[in-house]
């Protein structure tokens, strides 16, 4: 009997407390633009900084519309050091290697990407017989013949910057996705037939007089 009375007393006190809090929060002048009483608003409505505004940080007034510090690299972005030049293309072929360890799953992901971005021109087997490729002035070279010994660095460089009729895919594919695509292109190339890059072109000679 005493236990039931205690429970009833707790319930009654709790009810009065809820009514009291509700009464206090409902008092005052109503603002039609006010969201009302908010519990821990920063958990779901974080404050933002206006881009062209000024802010005081540690006593200093700073303009938020500043350029990043020289050398700043965006989060999740890896800089690509080889320029979009003939020399950059050749250098990438010599030194640029795939940083992603090979696995069948990675190659399979590359195959999926190939089906989305490459098959239209290069064809399902990489022979340059895609439906779009057939409408170009010249179809893409086949991976199993003309591009059979194209090294991984040049493949990645071509996907990044584009090559001849092929446009750049850097805005469509991340660096990781491009490297996965390289693995599948190498599968379409088949076994290598040359120890060195047979597609290498001569670097323009320096004609500057000393």
What is the rounded distance in angstroms from the CA atom of residue 57 to the CA atom of residue 16? 46
What is the reported pLDDT for 77? 78
Q: Which residue has the higher pLDDT, 208 or 136?
A: 136
* 173 has pLDDT over 90: yes
* 158 has pLDDT over 70: yes
CA dihedral sign, ordered 150, 155, 158, 159? positive
Q: Summarize the confidence of residues 95-123 as an average pLDDT.
A: 95
Q: Which residue has the higher pLDDT, 117 or 57?
A: 117
What is the reported pLDDT for 169? 95
Q: Summarize the confidence of residues 53-79 as an average pLDDT.
A: 77
What is the reported pLDDT for 206? 47
Closest listed residue to residue 100, CA positions, set 49, 14, 205, 174: 174
Could you tell me which residues come within 8 angstroms of residue 100 by beta carbon, excluding any fewer than 6 positions away? 106, 176, 179, 180, 183
User: 3-class SS at 145?
Assistant: coil
What is the reported pLDDT for 1? 47
Residue 62 belongs to what H/E stretch? strand 60-63
14: left (phi over 0), alpha (psi -120 to 50) or beta: alpha
Q: Write the DSSP symbol of residue 96.
A: -
Could you give the percent of the chain with pLDDT greater than 70?
73
What is the rounded distance in angstroms from the CA atom of residue 191 to the CA atom of residue 187? 8
pLDDT tens per residue, range 18-48: 777 666 555 555 677 776 666 666 666 666 6
* 135 has pLDDT over 70: yes
Closest listed residue to residue 96, CA positions, set 50, 14, 163, 155: 155
What is the reported pLDDT for 167? 92
pLDDT tens per residue, range 176-204: 999 999 999 999 999 877 656 656 665 55
Query: Taking the mean position of all CA atoms in its chain, how far away is CA 143?
Result: 27
Q: What is the pTM of this model?
A: 0.62
Query: Taking the mean position of all CA atoms in its chain, how far away is CA 36?
Result: 40
> What confidence category does residue 207 fall into, taking pLDDT thresholds of 50, 70 and 90?
very low
């Amino acid at each position: 009997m005493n236990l039931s009375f205690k429970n009833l007393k707790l319930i009654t006190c709790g009810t009065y407390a809820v009514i009291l809090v509700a009464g206090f929060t409902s008092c005052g002048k109503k603002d039609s633009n006010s969201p009302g009483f908010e519990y821990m608003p920063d958990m779901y409505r974080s404050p933002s900084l206006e881009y062209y505004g000024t802010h005081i940080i540690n006593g200093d007034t700073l303009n938020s519309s500043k350029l990043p510090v020289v050398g700043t690299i965006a989060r999740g972005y890896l800089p690509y050091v080889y320029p979009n030049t003939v020399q950059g293309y050749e250098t990438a072929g010599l030194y640029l290697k795939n940083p992603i360890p090979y696995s069948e799953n990675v190659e399979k992901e590359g195959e999926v990407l190939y089906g989305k971005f490459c098959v239209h021109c290069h064809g399902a087997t990489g022979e340059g017989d895609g439906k779009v490729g057939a409408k170009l002035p010249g179809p893409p070279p086949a991976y199993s013949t003309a591009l059979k010994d194209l090294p991984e660095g040049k493949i990645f460089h071509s996907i990044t910057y584009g090559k001849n009729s092929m446009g750049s895919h850097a805005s469509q594919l991340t660096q990781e996705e491009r490297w996965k695509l390289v693995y599948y292109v190498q599968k379409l190339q088949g076994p290598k037939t040359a120890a060195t890059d047979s597609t290498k072109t001569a670097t323009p000679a320096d004609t500057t007089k000393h």
